[in-house]
Amino acid sequence: EAEFPKPSRTRIIAVANQKGGVGKTTSVVNLSAALADGGSRVLVIDLDPQGNASTAFNIEHQSGTDSVYDVLEGRLSIEDVKQPADGVVGVDVVPSTIDLSGAELEIASLENRTDLLRGGIESFLKSSEEHYDYVIIDCAPSLGLLVLNALCAAHEVLIPIQAEYYALEGLGQLLKTIGLVQSSINPHLIISTMLVTMFDRRTILSQEVYDQVKGHYPDIVLETTIPRSVKIAEAPSFNQSVISYDPNGAGAVAYSEAALEIAKRSEKTLESIDAQRSGE
Ligand code: ADP
Ligand code: MG
């Protein structure tokens, strides 16, 4: 296995799209597994009360488990709640439990309600003995307070886009929200990456969607697309990533190539973040 290039500092990436079922969690899990396979260390933060990423990594996350919920509410640190992913060397996971579904209401009246995750991540990265190359946050399909916490904590957003007819509908709303975040709570944020998922080579539509997204956002769309694949869909029910479940299959190959593209773009991405910071 060839090592992937490592970013010169930790990349904090929110994987967001308020549409459900576009491949957010699947991409978080498989990109993380692929990056780890390439020798990087990854911290996955499951910020969806459904806990699908926690399930895929086979870590404990029943109600009451120490989780991201406790981090948001300041009871515990990330150090306290993270668990090593089952069978994936190099990935640690901050689990989410169903308890998180009440968090939005509970934090709504706090003055720093959008800053809770950022504080948790910043203090963890400062104090952790481990160096993490990536922190990857799996967002719920909404534009609510939890997602705002992710967009506030992250330096960059990765948007998975499903290759289907309505792919670009709703994207405007997401970009508008990101724009609002940039102009208020997190001016440093950039949209670094778009990844077209569930690409079906047999349909003209998939290619049309790709071309359209590429036409609009030429610099941030990955060349690699993720194919629609039964193995990708099956892997979580075996508590595995597709990287370990079907290592030579098209799904694993595609996620590994996408991860390598992301890794190779690290310095360019970090430069864009710095430029955004200094308001260039
Ligand atoms: P989100 O997190 O955006 O809601 P998921 O990653 O959970 O979306 O994916 C939604 C569903 O589609 C899941 O059942 C998942 O297994 C399936 N899926 C995701 N990506 C693919 C793919 N490339 N091929 C086939 N099924 C996929
Ligand atoms: Mg999900």
Which ligand 1 atom minimizes the distance to the CA of 227? Answer: 23
| Protein residues within 5 Å, CB atom, of ion ligand 2 | 24-25, 52
Residues in the chain: 280
pLDDT of res. 1:
59
Average pLDDT of the residues in 133-137: 98
Q: What is the mean pLDDT of the chain?
A: 96
By alpha-carbon position, which residue is closest to atom 22 of ligand 1?
A: 228
By alpha-carbon position, which residue is closest to atom 27 of ligand 1?
A: 233
pLDDT of res. 142:
93
H helices of the chain, in order, are 24-37, 52-56, 68-72, 78-81, 103-107, 116-127, 145-153, 171-183, 204-216, 230-234, 242-245, 250-264, 266-277
How close are the terminal C-alpha atoms of the chain, in Å? 39
What number of other Cβ atoms are within 10 A of residue 279's Cβ? Answer: 7
CA of 103 to the centre of ligand 1 (A): 25
What number of other Cβ atoms are within 10 A of residue 43's Cβ? Answer: 24
Which of 15, 19, 26 most suits a substitution to test ligand 1, by most atoms within 8 Å of the C-beta? 26
In sequence order, what are the residues at sequence separation of 6 or more whose Cβ sits closer than 8 angstroms to the Cβ of residue 72?
100, 103, 107, 116, 117, 120, 149
Which ligand 1 atom minimizes the distance to the CA of 233? Answer: 16
Find the ligand nearest to 19 CA: 1
pLDDT of res. 165:
84
pLDDT of res. 280:
60
Residue 56 CB less than 6 A away from ligand 1: no
Average pLDDT of the residues in 173-189: 94
In angstroms, the CA 149 to CA 242 distance is 29
Share of the chain above pLDDT 90, in %: 94
Q: Are 17 and 160 in contact (CB under 8 A)?
A: yes
Residue 247 CB less than 6 A away from ligand 1: no
Q: CB burial class (10 A; 0-12, 13-18, 19+) of residue 195?
A: buried
Q: What is the pLDDT of residues 193-237, one digit of tens each?
A: 999 999 999 999 999 999 999 999 999 999 999 999 999 999 999
- Is the domain spanning 11-277 CATH 3.50.50.60? The answer is no
pLDDT tier, 277 (very low <50, low <70, confident <90, very high otherwise): confident
CA of 227 to the centre of ligand 1 (A): 11
Which ligand 1 atom minimizes the distance to the CA of 199? Answer: 23
CA of 280 to the centre of ligand 2 (A): 34
